[in-house]
């Protein structure tokens, strides 16, 4: 476990190590529903396990990214207090299953995700904001991108920053009809494309990681909550994500404008997560390129997780063996 010593000589806790236990619990529970086609049970199993585990964490947390409003989500709803009430006071972002459909269908890449930052420093999307346009890259390209610039310009700048050619680049894009024009523009300039079914949090992280070269940039429109979770991880890595609120139709556009929301505003990493002490944890549920999924055995299970921390820039990969108790119930 990473430790730092302040001038007083006291040890500084690494909250990320405790968050790993939360994502492991969600992954172990939800993983039982892999491929069974029941998205509701996938979500319920993950939420129940995560809720139970997070209550044991030494923190006074408030959920700012969760399963929805209180009336719609009985647990892990926005505004819910989590943790045991001890300091530190933090904002909490959760996605018990990033890639619910992937897990329900037995497809690769589903994750359990949690992030924290100092209280009041995480962006909480206003009511009615569901999607954001996004671009995410790693540290070497963080000053090269501009979400308002054409696709061709951004890819040229990214290639130059990488000392590469555009046709060396791999662009991750969610496989959605709304992205047909972005896909056309990427193909036109010659970059390679990796279409992803779900889970743009993992793709944004992969684009930002210096030791992962499978994806160079994430482009496209995805969920607003996922943008904040990705920003928390990217804040730890040192990359950059830029986002703009994306209305789904003219009616939603007019409603957001009437509510005083500036649709031209660009939200950068430090706008989405302002805190300087950010912790991020994720555990694989189904095997993907970022993390292996849960493996079950008669004696227990194995999990694969990643933990990040902004203050140190540390990224830890954690392989864990979980032995079932004598009662045959999973931990």
**Binding-site residue positions:** 43, 67, 95, 98-100, 131, 176-178, 198-200, 223, 226
Phi, psi of 186 (to 5 degrees): -65, -45
Of 316, 273, 311, give the one whose Cα is nearest residue 291: 316
Question: CB of 90 within 8 A of CB of 60?
Answer: yes
Q: What is the C-alpha separation between 64 and 92, in angstroms, rounded? A: 6
CA angle 328, 329, 331 (to 5 degrees): 125
Return binding residues for substrate.
Answer: 98-100, 131, 176-178, 198-200, 223
In order, the DSSP letters of 189-237 are: HT-EEEEESS-HHHHHHHHH-TT--S-SEEEEEEEHHHHHHHHHHHHHH
| Helix (H/G/I), strand (E/B), else coil: 289 | coil
- Angle of helix 224-237 relative to helix 200-208, nearest 10 degrees, comes to 20
Count of C-beta atoms within a 10 Å radius of residue 237: 24
Return binding residues for Mn(2+).
Answer: 43, 67, 95, 98, 226
Q: What is the C-alpha separation between 265 and 320, in angstroms, rounded? A: 42
| Helix (H/G/I), strand (E/B), else coil: 103 | helix
Q: What is the C-alpha separation between 77 and 64, in angstroms, rounded? A: 8
Rg (CA), the chain: 19
DSSP state of 125: P
């Amino acid at each position: 476990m990473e430790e730092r010593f302040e001038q007083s000589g006291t040890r500084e806790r690494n909250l990320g190590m405790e968050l790993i236990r939360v994502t492991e619990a969600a992954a172990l529970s939800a993983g039982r529903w892999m491929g069974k086609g029941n998205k509701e049970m996938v979500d319920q199993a993950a939420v129940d396990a995560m809720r139970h585990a997070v209550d044991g964490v030494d923190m006074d947390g408030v959920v700012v990214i969760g399963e929805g409003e209180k009336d719609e989500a009985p647990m892990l709803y926005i505004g819910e207090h989590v943790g045991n009430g001890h300091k530190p006071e933090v904002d909490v972002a959760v996605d018990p299953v990033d890639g619910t459909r992937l897990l329900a269908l037995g497809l690769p890449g589903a994750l359990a995700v949690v992030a924290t930052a100092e209280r009041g420093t995480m962006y909480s999307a206003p009511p009615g904001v569901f999607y954001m346009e996004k671009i995410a890259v790693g540290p070497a390209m963080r000053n090269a991108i501009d979400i308002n610039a054409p696709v061709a310009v951004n890819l040229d700048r990214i290639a130059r920053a990488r000392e590469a050619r555009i046709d060396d680049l791999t662009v991750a894009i969610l496989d959605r009809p709304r992205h047909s024009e972005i896909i056309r523009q990427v193909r036109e300039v010659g970059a390679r494309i990796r279409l992803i079914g779900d889970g743009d949090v993992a793709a944004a992280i992969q684009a930002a990681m210096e030791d992962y070269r499978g994806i160079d940039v994430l482009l496209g429109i995805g969920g607003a909550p996922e943008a904040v979770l990705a920003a928390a991880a990217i804040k730890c890595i040192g990359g950059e994500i830029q986002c703009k609120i994306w209305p789904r139709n003219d009616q939603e556009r007019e409603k957001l404008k009437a509510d005083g929301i500036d649709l031209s505003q660009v939200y950068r990493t430090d706008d989405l997560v302002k805190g300087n002490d950010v912790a991020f944890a994720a555990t694989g549920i189904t095997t993907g390129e970022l993390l292996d999924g849960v493996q079950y055995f008669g004696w227990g299970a194995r999990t694969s997780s990643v933990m990040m921390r902004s203050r140190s820039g540390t990224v830890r990969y954690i392989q864990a063996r979980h032995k079932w108790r004598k009662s045959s119930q999973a931990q």
